[in-house]
Amino acid sequence: MKSHYYMTVVIVLFILSLGVVFIQGCDQASYGVGAALENIVNEPSTWIGSASNALSGKTWSDYKERTEEARARLSNDTHYQLCVRTGTTINEPIDGLAGNMTKVRDLYCSCKAWGTCTTENCSCDILCPENFEILNRGGQEMGPTDNEDFELRNSDASVGKYVPLASGGGLCWGLATMNSRFNHLAFFNPKTPKPTFEYPEDRAKFYKFLIEKVRRNQAVDIAGFASLKEFSSDSQIKELLAEAVGHEWSRLAIGVEGISSISSSSPLDAASAASLVADLKYRTENHQTPSLLFNNAGDSLSAHVVLVTEVKEVPDGTKSILCIKDNAQTAISNNHCGNKMIVDKATGEIIYLGKKVGFCKIAHNENNDVVAQVNSLRGRCLIEKGPACTRTLPRSNFDVPSGTF
């Protein structure tokens, strides 16, 4: 029965999507949308039954399927990763191993997500895939180092431990979310000069615009800065970032989803913990840094949000380790899995910073964010690869602000 519901959702979503695509060129899509809507209205029980397929979750799942399909398809093609550049031949004597390697490198290019090949010898779909591979940013992924962490820290020094208002905003969800978005979407170019402005108001407007784009999950170039740490250390920019973090926190936390995180502090059972760990492992292995919303067992008000950067297993296989990027801890302590949650596979018990974790789940904004990031990064990639690829560019805001304002 469940699969029937699932299929219905897929079909109707497909029709709905078609409706939107059509309507871009003309107004006939109303028909598609209308037909789909009528289906839903006629059979609401079908939609009620398919509860697990919320839009955002469904779309993230679609990308997951696409990622797996692409991997399966491309793994059968032994040449996909390395293609011979078009129009090149070896007609010079090779002088030693080093010269040999250089020439080989010159002759070949990589045909993969963000690869070096042109569209003459590699398709846009492979160079700029519409799946999680696009999140790897061509090997420029930002890792869990303190350079990729905000200078701005959260004041809740540890979960459930109250520290009088002193060291920061205490807006963990906003900090985690914005940190993750910057890690995925900001392209720092230290060698490009920073734009200059006569008046601080103009500079503020410029960076506010960039920060707002990232907040809305759009890729941006940031000239003159080497890293998020450096960017967020600029005192004027830090003020703008703090404002964006506050906005995100209040949007995410002062609502029903925020309330859900403080309504229960019951620990997960072994099966639920295993399922959560498997989900987190998949996401981290697919270039994502999921936001984890949790509280301490027996203290529902102690809710906190961190990012998970990697999932490992202890050698004896009894426990999983979640590497944590925690804005309430020092940026350096987040390096190389310095902060970790330990998950006991037999019992499902999760320990973080010496305390037992209660309620624990991936934050509700995670799927929406990843989906939007895939779209934006793909748009950027397609533009980079030139006219042959931009034909397939979906409508969106991929414009990257220039140095002038």
Per CB under 8 A, contacts with other proteins among 258-287 are 258-264
Query: Is 204 near other proteins (CB under 8 A)?
Result: yes
Does 37 interact with other proteins (rule: CB under 8 A)? yes
Alpha-helical (H) ranges within 50-193 are 55-75, 96-107, 124-127, 172-185
Q: Which of 138, 158, 160, 401 binds other proteins (CB under 8 A)?
A: 160
According to DSSP H, which parts of 221-321 are helical? 228-233, 235-253, 256-260, 270-285
**Cα(90)–Cα(152) distance, integer angstroms:** 54
Cross-strand partners of 324: 308, 339
Of 104, 205, 266, 403, the one binding other proteins (CB under 8 A) is 205
Q: Which residues is 223 bridged to in the sheet?
A: 189
> C-beta of 292: minimal distance to other proteins in Å?
14
CB of 326 to other proteins, least distance (A): 14
Contact between 1 and other proteins per CB under 8 A: no
**How many CB atoms sit inside 10 A of residue 278's CB?**
12
Q: Which two tokens stand for residue 90?
A: 């070896």
Which position among 302, 320, 329, 334 is part of the footprint of other proteins (CB under 8 A)?
Answer: 302
Work out whether 404 is an interface residue with other proteins (CB under 8 A): no
Near other proteins in 59-88, by CB under 8 A: 59
Interface of this chain with other proteins, residues 221 to 260, rule: CB under 8 A: 234-240, 242-243, 247, 249-251, 253-256, 258-260
Reduce the DSSP state of residue 256 to 3 states and report it.
Answer: helix
Is the four-CA dihedral 290, 378, 233, 146 of positive or negative sign? Answer: positive
| String marking each residue 311-350 x if it binds other proteins according to CB under 8 A | ----------------------------------------
- Number of residues counted as binding other proteins (CB under 8 A): 102
Distances (CA, A) of 354 to 160, 212, 338, 340, 357: 12, 37, 14, 10, 9
Interface residue with other proteins, options 1, 3, 51, 316 (CB under 8 A): 51
Q: Which is nearer to other proteins, 193 or 394 (CB)?
A: 394
> In the window 129-158, what residues touch other proteins (CB under 8 A)?
151-153, 155-156
- Least Cβ distance, residue 368 to other proteins (angstroms): 5
Backbone angles phi, psi at 110, to 5 degrees: -95, 130
